[in-house]
Amino acid sequence: MIKCGLKGKSETLVTGEKTAKSVGSGELEVLATPMLAALMENAALGALHLPENQTSVGTYLNLKHLAPTPVGMKVWAEAEVIKTEDRKILFKVVAFDEKEKIGEGEHERVIVGEDKFMAKAKSKKVVDKK
């Protein structure tokens, strides 16, 4: 059972591949918002220790990207479980660089069975009948 108060953390170095210019979300060489989102989701994953054949998938992310971070700086995100309801888990997420807070928001994940989830995803593939 997932309990409120569980915490996770994720960190990375801002590289050229993680900039807005590189990922196509902007024109500047600063940490891209999609990369900040991924960092926050990864922090939330770090708070969860699920049984074998179970995982969680992100279903909602509301974030504010508050400040730019240039290439070469370390960034990290922290996530804390603030609410649980059946298979849904809600996190408070906050992100920092070496100078200041750069982001904040809420993130929801849902616990799923890996096999069932992947079977559903794979069932969407179109079969070539040639």
Which tokens hold the place of 124? Answer: 């969407």
Which tokens hold the place of 30? Answer: 């600063």
Residue 68's pLDDT is 98
Residue 108's pLDDT is 98
Residue 128's pLDDT is 65
Residue 126's pLDDT is 76
Other beta carbons within 10 angstroms of residue 116's beta carbon come to 10
Number of domains into which the chain is organized:
1
CATH number at residue 63: 3.10.129.10
Residue 31 placed within a domain:
yes
Straight-line distance from the first to the last Cα atom of the chain, in angstroms, rounded to the nearest whole number: 48
Residue 129's pLDDT is 64
> What is the domain extent for residue 46?
7-122
Question: Which pTM was predicted?
Answer: 0.92
Residue 77 placed within a domain:
yes
Q: Which residues of the chain have pLDDT under 70?
A: 127-130
Residue 127 placed within a domain:
no
pLDDT, one tens digit per residue, over 42-68 is 999 999 999 999 999 999 999 999 999
Residue 61 placed within a domain:
yes
